[in-house]
């Protein structure tokens, strides 16, 4: 499993972001560390603290680094030049927004995805907000084309009072990741396109509210049944 390092100018800010993301998505198994503030406890970033975080988290699957402002990125880049090259090769610096990227990255990492997949999902962190407010969406939804393979599908009604907001959406994505294979979703009520069930951003873009009908499609009937049952039960929220 990949690890996540948060580089911020403010330790309280970084700790709050990690706490928020962890509580929302339940990604307690993902190793997370913070390199934030100066050695004196003030605002700023310290490349040596980033080095310590990278060395602490180093693992064969890699480390995703999320940062807040420009000089945090510079400190992270400087740290990559200071650590052992074998460690640096397993690190990926993300341009994602800190909070949204952290939530998306932790969910994706918790499903067992690789470093680049987690980085890509984190980078799409603003897509749900942009779609809701009428901005450009980031990335394209998945096609329902299953490359000629037989697919199974079923429709289920959303029972969560607030719809598929971050917490139940994260539960769905985590479950889909563990089931494996290609699983797609679409909002039948709104006529949305298909999205990947292992993409938190994609699931959030569906805008699935209470009472909306969502179609689940996959090549494995067992995967369809498992997700339909989970969604019908409220994704652990009811």
Residues belonging to the active site:
9
Residue 100 to residue 98: CA distance in whole angstroms = 6
Please answer whether residues 194 and 161 qualify as being in contact, where contact means their C-beta atoms are separated by less than 8 angstroms: no
- Could you tell me the two tokens for 116? 């680049």
Residue 216 to residue 218: CA distance in whole angstroms = 7
Residue 26 to residue 221: CA distance in whole angstroms = 27
Coil/strand/helix, residue 111: coil
137: closest CA among 236, 206, 215, 47? 206
């Amino acid at each position: 499993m990949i690890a996540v390092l948060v580089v911020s100018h403010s330790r309280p800010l970084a700790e709050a972001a990690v706490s928020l993301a962890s509580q929302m998505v339940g990604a307690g198994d993902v190793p997370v560390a913070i390199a934030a503030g100066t050695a004196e406890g003030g605002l700023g970033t310290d490349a040596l603290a980033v080095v310590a975080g990278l060395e602490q988290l180093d693992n064969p699957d890699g480390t995703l680094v999320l940062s807040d402002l420009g000089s945090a990125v510079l400190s992270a880049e400087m740290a990559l030049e200071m650590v052992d090259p074998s460690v640096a090769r397993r690190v990926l610096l993300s341009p994602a927004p800190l909070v949204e990227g952290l939530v998306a990255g932790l969910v994706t990492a918790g499903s067992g995805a690789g470093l680049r997949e987690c980085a890509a999902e984190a980078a799409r962190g603003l897509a749900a907000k942009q779609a809701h407010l009428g901005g450009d969406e980031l990335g394209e939804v998945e096609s329902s084309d299953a490359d000629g393979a037989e697919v199974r599908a079923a429709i289920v009604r959303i029972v969560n009072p607030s719809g598929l907001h971050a917490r139940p959406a994260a539960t769905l994505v985590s479950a889909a990741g563990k089931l494996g294979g290609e699983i797609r979703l679409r909002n039948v009520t709104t006529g949305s396109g298909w999205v990947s069930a292992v993409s938190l951003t994609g699931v959030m873009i569906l805008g699935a509210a209470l009472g909306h009908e969502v179609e689940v499609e996959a090549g494995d009937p067992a995967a369809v049944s498992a997700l339909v049952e989970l969604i019908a039960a409220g994704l652990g929220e009811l």
